[in-house]
Amino acid sequence: QLQLVESGGGLVEPGGSLRLTCEASGFTLDYYTIGWFRQAPGKEREGVSCIDSSGGRINYADSVKGRFTISRGNAKNTVYLQMNSLKPEDTAVYYCAAGLKTVETMCLMTAEDFWGRGTQVTVSS
C-alpha cells in the first residue's frame, strides 16, 4: 500500500508556530520531489513549498518566504513544514504530494502523483 499522511495541524494564535509532517508508507521518498499545498475555503489550491529528491533545490511561495521552512527527515520517508509567525491568512487545509520530477517540473504536481488527505491549520485569535 502506497500512502502519504499529513499530521501536525491544529488551532494556533497569530504569531504562533506549527510543524507539519508528511510521512510515506509503502515506499520511500528517496527519488521523489515533495510539495506542500494549501487550500482555504472558497479559494484555489496553491503551492506553498517544494523540495527535490536531494534536498538541494527548494522553492517557497512569496507569501511564506522567511516564515516557513521545508526539510527532509533523516529517515528519508518524512518531510516537514515548519511554520512560524503564522497569520490568519495561512488558515487552510494543507496537503503534501510526492512525484518523480525534474528540475523543470519539480513543483508541478498532478492527480497522477501521490497526495495525502490533508491536515487542517487554523490561525485565529
Residue-wise pLDDT for 64-76, tens only, equals 999 999 999 888 8
Residue 82 near residue 94 (C-beta atoms within 8 A): no
Chain Cα centroid distance, residue 58: 12
Residues of the chain with pLDDT under 50: none
Residue 108's pLDDT is what? 93
Residue 83's pLDDT is what? 98
HSE of 56 in the Cβ direction (CA atoms, 13 Å)?
5
d(CA 12, CA 18): 8
Residue 23's pLDDT is what? 95
Residue 76's pLDDT is what? 80
Residue 28's pLDDT is what? 85
Match 520531489 to its residue by C-alpha cell.
33
Residue 74's pLDDT is what? 83
Residues 6+ apart with CB under 8 A from 75: none
